[in-house]
Structure formats: C-alpha cells, structure tokens
Amino acid sequence: MELKFTKEGIEFEKQLNNLDNFVIDFSKVLNKLNVKYVVVSGYVSILFGRNRSSEDIDIIIEKLTLPKFGMLWNELNKEFECINAENKDSAYKDYLLTHHAIRFSRKGEFIPNMEIKFPKIDLDDWTIANRKEVSLNKHQIFISPLELQIPFKLFLGSEKDIEDAKYLYKLFKDNLNLPLLIDFNRKLKIEQSFNKYLR
Amino acid sequence: MKLPKIDLKELKKLKEDNFKERLDFIDQYTEWLKKSPNKKWSSQQSNLIQ
C-alpha cells in the first residue's frame, strides 16, 4: 500500500469503487460551498482498503444557518435527493436542529446514502476541528482523526466495529499519535477491548 | 418435527471462535495489503464493492 503522509493528512491513489465515487461526488459539493464536514463511519476503513460495503456513510457537518443550509440543499439537489425529509425547511428544523439525520442518495436511488448530522456532543465538534484531509486520486475528503476513529469503533463494540478498529490500527499503527489514541481509550473506557482485540 | 439439541454455550463458543478467526484474518490481510501496490489491492476491492 502506497500512502503519502503529509502535514494535512494522507495522499494516495487507487482504483475507485462505487462507494468511493459516491463520497467523492458528495464531498465536491461540500468542499465547493466551504462547508466543514467529517466522514466518521465505516467508510473510513473501506476508503483504506477494507473489503466490505456499506449502505450509508455518516457525515457530521458544521452547524449551518438556514440560509447557508439552503444553499447546500439547492446545490446537492442538482445531483442528489433527500430521501427522508420533504423539503429544505423540514430537513433543517425537524431533522438537523433536533439532531436527527437527513439522508441523501443519488437521484432515483436509495443506497448508498449519505447520513448527515449537525454536531451534537463536544466530541463531534472536536472531530470537525481536528479533521484530517485525505487526497484520494486528487479529490479532497475529510475524515475523523484515526486516533479517535479507532477507539470510537471499539466503543461502539459490534463485531463489525471491532473488525474495522483492528483493521485501521494494524494498517496505521506506525503513523498514529499513540498518546492521543491512548487518551481516547481511557476517556471512552475501552482499554480492555483495545488490549484484547488490537494488541 | 423433532428439533436438534441446541447447546447455547457451544454456540457462543462457536461465535467467539469465528470472530477470532476473522480478526486473525485481518492481521494477515493488512500484512498483505502493506506489501501490495495500490493498483493491485484496489482493483480487487473495486471488483467486490461494485
């Protein structure tokens, strides 16, 4: 695996799969409108080669004003459609402001879909503030720092999550900020799982 | 219809063993991945995920 670690994040090239193309096309809209976002889901491990698929990709976006969200809604609707909210106002007020996710898929399709939320807890804000840039075939995608992504997957604790955590840790352990990862292990109280499954 | 005897303890152990095997496979796969060119692993991944 050829990865280039830079000050901003990670650069690499690969043969893109369907999920990669979906994320790239969606991210282009967010990047164009300078909306801060971070991909936090299992897609992070898929991005780096894990052989599984996913029907949804979780994204946290910075809290937007209604006018700015309106711009995003209009831009997204050129290529995508919201599959769970009726309109822009409902998406904003009934979903995002009440910390429920809105989901966008490509027009006429249902999966894969992008599950979008506003930050709800401090950890969400931290993730956005410390997001890492991935240059995938020269396309810019922002992901959660792996030092949080790995412990958080262990915290979620399903077999799939533990496998994702192990996968990312094995792949990146020589390039991680280990003290930071260990701090998150402690805060999330998952040291035991970490030692059991990842060591 | 007569159902087979089900030993939940045995099934739980089976589930744990399967999980451990999958985790062991991740060790093997990540070692292979680190040594493989991006073109090689990503074309295999792309075939699977399309």
The β-bridge partners of A80 are: A106
Alpha-carbon span A39 to A37, nearest angstrom: 7
Residue A139's identity, in one-letter code, is H
Size of interface A-B (CB pairs under 8 A): 66
When CB atoms are compared, the residue of A13, A17, A51 closest to B50 is: A17
pLDDT value, residue A135: 98
When CB atoms are compared, the residue of B19, B23, B33 closest to A49 is: B33
pLDDT value, residue A7: 86
Query: Is the minimum CB–CB distance between A186 and chain B shorter than 8 Å?
Result: no
Q: Residue A53: closest CA among chain B residues belongs to which residue?
A: B49
Vertex A97 angle, CA A93 and A103, to 5°:
80
pLDDT value, residue A41: 85
| H or E segment to which residue A58 belongs | strand A56-61
* Mutate which: A4, A12, A16, A17, vs B, most B CBs within 10 A: A17
Tokens of A101: 């996710």
Query: Is the minimum CB–CB distance between B14 and chain A shorter than 8 Å?
Result: no
pLDDT value, residue B50: 73
Query: Is the minimum CB–CB distance between B45 and chain A shorter than 8 Å?
Result: yes
Alpha-carbon span A130 to A13, nearest angstrom: 23
pLDDT value, residue A171: 97
When CB atoms are compared, the residue of A18, A49, A166 closest to B50 is: A18
Judge: A15–B34 Cβ closer than 8 Å, yes or no. Answer: no
The interface residues of chain A toward chain B in range 160-179, judged by CB-CB distance below 8 A, are 162-163, 166-167, 170-171
Where does A10-144 sit in CATH, by number? Answer: 3.30.460
Residues of chain A with pLDDT under 70: none
Looking at residue B4, the DSSP 8-state letter turns out to be P
Which chain B residues touch A166 with a CB distance below 8 Å? 23, 26-27
Query: Is the minimum CB–CB distance between A11 and chain B shorter than 8 Å?
Result: no
How many angstroms separate the first and last alpha carbons of chain B? 42
Query: Is the minimum CB–CB distance between B28 and chain A shorter than 8 Å?
Result: no
Alpha-carbon span A38 to A27, nearest angstrom: 10
> For A8-45, what is each residue's pLDDT tens digit?
899 999 999 999 999 999 999 999 999 999 999 899 99
> For B1-41, what is each residue's pLDDT tens digit?
888 898 999 999 999 999 999 999 999 999 999 999 999 99
Check: CB of residue A91 under 8 Å from CB of residue A81: no
| pTM (two decimals) | 0.94
The β-bridge partners of A12 are: A136
In chain A, domain spans: 10-144, 146-199
pLDDT value, residue A8: 86
Check: CB of residue A95 under 8 Å from CB of residue A119: no
* Mutate which: B42, B44, B48, B50, vs A, most A CBs within 10 A: B42
